[in-house]
Amino acid sequence: MPELPEVETTRRGIAPHLEGQRVSRVIVRDRRLRWPIPEDLDARLSGQRIVAVERRAKYLLINAEVGTLISHLGMSGNLRLVEAGLPALKHEHVDIELESGMALRYTDPRRFGAMFWSLDALNHTLLQGLGPEPLTELFDGERLFQLSRGRSMAVKPFIMDNAVVVGVGNIYATEALFAAGIDPRRAAGGISRGRYLRLAVEIKRILAYAIERGGTTLRDFIGGDGQPGYFQQELFAYGRGGQLCKVCGTTLREVKLGQRASVYCPRCQT
């Protein structure tokens, strides 16, 4: 599933081509995503100028003059620019055609993504109650320490809780915990302030670097420019269960935490 770096990579790829452009029409070939695409999306968006393309957590916000298209890529979705009128292939469900002659095309083989129209996007049900963005000053180790007090849940699902901080999905939680030297199985409430300060720094560093590298290519992800991400080549723990630790040579172990596979080094992470 595309995580924050993949979504941010997509945003950066499509924003220059969308912002300031007027929508000529919206073609919906299949409305059957995770939730049905609004039947009046063409009427709502056509004729409007796109003001900005933003991101909140893993949601893309395409802000028009009146209203916002909220898009989630689901497990296999991607948004990329194509020439308007380019024949659609299987699974290419939506085209947002622009007066520039380009079109923003949404592809989703598994149809687990979503598109909503909202006049007040930040107060939409899916965006309410979200925690701070991890790459802002609103998120730091002190926040993690304070919110973790008395929590018996494992630290990995704790930092993946969107009420604590948004966008720290399975890949980057695994990598950040490895970099901070913290065993993902440890109780969140038993970790010291100092270790949380380091963990927050590593979360920020790894997410920022992953964005620079274009995200992580896992199965279907392709950025808004049509290119794959390259961070996968630099993973230390995620997906490497049974392999040797790149730091100490110990065999990495894999466990299940919160229904997710979690890989860690028994020597480097305590």
Residue positions in the annotated binding site? 91, 110, 151
Residues contacting residue 82 through CB under 8 Å, at least 6 positions apart: 95, 102, 103, 105
Q: Show binding-site residues for DNA.
A: 91, 110, 151
Residue tagged active-site, from 12, 185, 260, 267: 260
Q: At what angle do helices 170-180 and 193-212 cross, to 10 degrees?
A: 130
Closest CA to 216 of 204, 205, 202, 230: 230
Q: At what angle do helices 141-148 and 193-212 cross, to 10 degrees?
A: 130
Does the active-site annotation cover 58?
Answer: yes
Residue tagged active-site, from 11, 55, 56, 58: 58
Does the active-site annotation cover 105?
Answer: no
Does the active-site annotation cover 137?
Answer: no
Alpha-carbon distance of 251 to 267, in angstroms, equals 9
Residue 197 main-chain phi, psi, to 5 deg: -60, -45
Instruction: Give the other-Cβ count within 10 Å of 223's Cβ.
Output: 25
Does the active-site annotation cover 156?
Answer: no
Query: What is each CA distance from 96 to 8, 17, 57, 71, 243, in whole angstroms?
Result: 19, 12, 23, 13, 44
Q: Which residues are catalytic?
A: 2-3, 58, 260
